[in-house]
Amino acid sequence: MEESAETKQCFVCQSSGEDRVLLACEQKGEAKWVCVRCLPPLIHEMDGGRH
């Protein structure tokens, strides 16, 4: 087991994973973390509003 020295942080709201769940994701080939509260808006955004 190897702990990364990097602090996990939501790339949207910069919240640490201590008070909410963080999910691993990738943006433009970069590994990132996003918290569950910021994920729904992101999904919405990627939808392109084509409704």
The residues of the shown chain that bind Zn ion, judged by CB under 5 A, are 10, 12-13, 15, 35, 38
Residue 11's contacts (CB-CB under 8 Å, 6 or more residues apart) are 27, 32, 33, 34
Give the helix/strand (H/E) hosting 27: strand 22-27
| C-beta closer to Zn ion: residue 13 or 21 | 13
| C-beta closer to Zn ion: residue 31 or 50 | 31
- Phi, psi (degrees; rounded to nearest 5) at 27: -135, 120
- Find the shortest distance in angstroms from Cβ 6 to Zn ion: 16
| C-beta closer to Zn ion: residue 12 or 25 | 12
